[in-house]
A and B are shown apart, each in its own frame.
Chain A
């Protein structure tokens, strides 16, 4: 920033308070978040988040791209759950087009969406525990996360920016032996979660740092637009996978973990339970994986298979047209929300009937969750601010877009 922002030069409101800057280069802010704290001794009086350091204008960029070219941009928004972003965007465009997705593609989407959730929660658990002084958990979590990233690499060739879900289905058929490998990962995973819990759940230091810290009531959580585990830990029973099922979630049985205390520990409990539920969904997806195509039958929208393109004139023409001209999407607007690891991730897309979106807006769950921080931290100690930031699990790419 070229100019000092008003928050930075804000005068303290009381005589005995002090304005302290935290971030944007601070390890516990999980990215480039800057907090301006007004403190009275060790107690936080006021907290003002400053964001925008990672703003890249993705929404503007989307307006200049064809619909299919936006998919790789969505990976980069919430970089800890790329597949969830892909899914939300693809579902929104498919809703605009009125496209039906074959069952196998839907089940693989569910499978990878849940693996993404586990991946994201593992990064959260590791870094959150490390913020609170428990180093070992980080190493354990990243051990399992590495396995998941290998699955991503197997299907898409990329560890993080996967772009595996495409409009109308999936990019590629998953490689042979993938499902066996995922099963070999999923079977012992609950024991791994036991291991993390063994290090944290009953740990007196961890409990002292988290229980009763940074409370958020259900009313405040709703009013401030919190989402996901942050909302559920305050006792609000909502999960879009269950309440507004998309991409075939209605075929899966799972529980929605809830807690009522609304403190850092409650959020921790909710997310750890979600790890167990997600691996349960992964197991169900593997057990019931249907056979069939992985792309919708819509040659004007979905790229043809490589083999067909080399042998069939029509496929070649469609391929050429999609790549050079894109495909027109009927005019209209949709808002498609999915349950990301952090809460409601919504894509609002306005189409004017051309091959480029007129407007794409991403409702980032982190952007909403960040607003709860000021409420949570008022009256808490500075050390608890670190615990609170960790507990709302923000990703700055998702906040700033």
Chain B
């Protein structure tokens, strides 16, 4: 089974329900799109992520009502350094979509989606703890895995695997 080449470009992928809905709402919110290994990835404008999530959740035809996962990838030393990754699932339609937001390394701040899905609470705390990305509007943004007085964010690429000694 050879890998099919990835499809990139918003124009080629606009049939997908998630992208179609977002383009109908605000074409400026979607920065890029990619379809690779049967998975759709949409890059969302940093300022629109909470509204985009709310729009997708409340879509009448294909509601992406379930937040599977929220995590982050550190592309240190390139910029924009962080990518916050959202995996959404539509329980009625069994469709999946991945949203991504690029963040600068100097001030990784993004709006929280806890008001859209309360499930994001723990995930965002985990990303804050291990990557140092701040979520505005989060009700309880504190370390969750590491001790409260821990220094540094262990999952950043410039944090050594053995820790600081």
| A interface residues, Cβ below 8 angstroms from B | 1-3, 5-6, 51-52, 55, 57, 59-61, 63-64, 95-96, 98-100, 222-225, 236, 238, 243-244, 330, 332-335, 337, 344, 346, 348, 350, 358-359, 361, 363, 367-368, 370-371, 400-401
Contact = CB atoms under 8 A, between A and B. Distances in A.
Contact of B118 (A99, A100, A223, A359): A223
Interface stretch (B15-23, B48-56, B146-154): B146-154
A3 B1 CA distance: 53
Nearest to B2: A98
A348 B83 CA distance: 13
B93 to A, nearest CB: 10
Contact of B96 (A64, A95, A335): A335
B144 interface: yes
Contact of A348 (B67, B85, B161): B85
Q: Could you say which interface size class chain B belongs to?
A: 35 or more
Given A52-B146, A61-B161, A363-B87, A222 B122 contact: no
B31 to A, nearest CB: 17
A48 to B, nearest CB: 9
Nearest to B98: A335
Given A348-B85, A363-B69, A332 B6 contact: yes
25 contacts: A2-B149, A6-B148, A52-B146, A63-B161, A98-B3, A100-B1, A222-B65, A224-B118, A224-B119, A225-B67, A225-B119, A243-B94, A332-B37, A333-B39, A334-B37, A335-B96, A346-B69, A348-B71, A350-B73, A358-B73, A359-B73, A359-B74, A361-B71, A363-B71, A371-B119
A222 B145 contact: no
A329 to B, nearest CB: 11
Contacts of B117: 223-225
B147 A1 contact: yes
Contacts of B147: 1-3, 52
Contact of A344 (B6, B68, B71): B68
A51 B121 CA distance: 14
Contacts of A367: 122, 126
B66 interface: yes
Contacts of A330: 3
Nearest to B67: A225
Interface in B1-42: 1-3, 6, 36-37, 39, 41
Given A346-B87, A348-B71, A55 B118 contact: no
B142 interface: yes
B155 interface: yes
Contacts of B121: 371
B147 to A, nearest CB: 5
Nearest to B63: A222
B154 A57 contact: yes
Contacts of A333: 36, 39, 41
B143 to A, nearest CB: 8
A370 B98 CA distance: 23
Contacts of A332: 6, 36-37
A350 B66 CA distance: 22
A401 B3 CA distance: 31
A348 B154 contact: no
A222 B130 CA distance: 26
B71 A225 contact: no
Contacts of B36: 332-333
Contacts of A60: 154-155, 159, 161
A345 to B, nearest CB: 10
Contacts of A359: 73-74
A301 to B, nearest CB: 13
A71 B85 CA distance: 24
A359 to B, nearest CB: 5
A59 B145 contact: no
Contacts of A363: 68-69, 71, 87
Contacts of B68: 225, 335, 337, 344, 346, 363
The 10 closest A-B pairs by CB, nearest first: A225-B119, A98-B3, A363-B69, A55-B145, A52-B145, A361-B71, A100-B1, A3-B149, A1-B147, A243-B94
B145 A51 contact: yes
Contacts of A370: 122
A95 B1 CA distance: 10
A254 to B, nearest CB: 17
Nearest to A364: B69
Given A223-B119, A361-B71, A363-B87, A96 B148 contact: no
A335 B142 contact: no
